[in-house]
Amino acid sequence: MSLTLNLLLNGVALGMLIFLIAAGLSLIFGLMGVLNFAHGAIFIWGAYVGWATYGLTGSFILAILAGMVAGFIIGWVIERFFIRPFYDSHVAQILLTLGLMLVLTEGIKLIWGPNILGFDKPELLQGVVTILNDPFPVYRIFTIAVGALILIGVHLMLTKTKYGIIIRAGVQNPEMVQALGINVRRVFSLVFAFGAALAAFGGVISGPSFGSIFPELGMQNQLAAFIVIVIGGIGNFLGVAIGSLLVGVTQTFMAYYVPEAALAVNVALMALVLILKPEGLFGVRR
């Protein structure tokens, strides 16, 4: 396998990992317009709950389910008791969710401690496969496949199902949807909780990919999630996926050829998109 193809595959795997982190935030921020800076904390809570469940049961599937349930509950509580009174105030959303991010992160330290914990890959997903005579990790293929399934599933849910139509209609004209007898607040609560569950799912999947977890990991990855949403276009789920792949591939190539610029390239890419197309590559001007 050529160097270019190797870097490309690794970039796609990284992009799908970023997409798993950003998918839930795309629903919460992109569709509902809620600035949830506690998203990274929900992500890492999912990783820790998944790690604990995996250690107790040895089942990675149960670890994923447990992490998603934890994320769903945390998301529902945040929306019901903290976000709901402040849907019209982005300043209040920022202050509240920043505070919740710190509280949730400190909560992890109280329960599991501040030290780095190793997160092993499931036995079936260990090892490598040969692609064009070169090895490629099985878990990265798994990450790409899972990211693609989430992309297809959520996109079809939003565009082809009755509930997806209600969600989009509720965002665009909540008064009209409420007049039709649909409880818009309940719909928003479920969307927020579902987005949080997706964040926790991304945390469980990301843990073995990183090889270890620690409390601040969520805050470190939250910036990447916001970047790809801005690049792809706020409110465009497919755009977020494409933005994630673009960031993942760009960062991988830069990390190989210009390592010192690898971290800055994402912010530079976002700035370029904002200058040329402020609504994002696939967003709609509002």
Contacts 24+ apart (CB under 8 A), 58-65: 60/122, 60/125, 63/204, 64/201, 64/204, 64/205
- DSSP-derived letter for residue 33 is -
Q: Residue 286's pLDDT is what?
A: 54
Q: Residue 170's pLDDT is what?
A: 73
What value does the mean pLDDT take over residues 123-134? 86
Residue 282 resides in a domain: no
Please say whether the beta carbons of 77 and 196 come within 8 A. no
Residue 163 resides in a domain: yes
Residue 82's CB is within 10 A of a number of other CB atoms, namely: 17
Please say whether the beta carbons of 128 and 137 come within 8 A. yes
Distances, alpha carbon 222 to alpha carbons 123, 141, 227, in Å? 29, 23, 9
Q: What's the domain count of the chain?
A: 1
Residue 286 resides in a domain: no
Residue 281 resides in a domain: no
pLDDT at 149 over 80: yes
The sign of the CA dihedral 229, 230, 235, 239 is negative
What value does the mean pLDDT take over residues 209-215? 94
Please say whether the beta carbons of 240 and 198 come within 8 A. no
* Tally of residues, the chain: 286
Q: Residue 199's pLDDT is what?
A: 93
Q: Residue 103's pLDDT is what?
A: 95
Q: Residue 5's pLDDT is what?
A: 84
The predicted model scores a pTM of 0.92
- The DSSP string of 146-170 is HHHHHHHHHHHHHHHSHHHHHHHHH
pLDDT digits (tens, 9 = 90+) for 18-63: 998 898 888 888 777 788 999 999 999 999 999 999 999 999 999 9
pLDDT digits (tens, 9 = 90+) for 160-206: 888 888 877 776 777 777 777 788 778 888 889 999 999 999 999 99
Please say whether the beta carbons of 176 and 169 come within 8 A. yes
Please say whether the beta carbons of 219 and 41 come within 8 A. yes
Top mean pLDDT of 43-52, 90-99, 230-239 is at 43-52
Residue 244 resides in a domain: yes
**Domain limits at 198?**
3-276
Q: Which residues have C-beta within 8 Å of that of residue 22, sequence separation ≥ 6?
A: 224, 225, 226, 228, 229, 240, 244
Q: Residue 203's pLDDT is what?
A: 95
pLDDT at 284 over 70: no
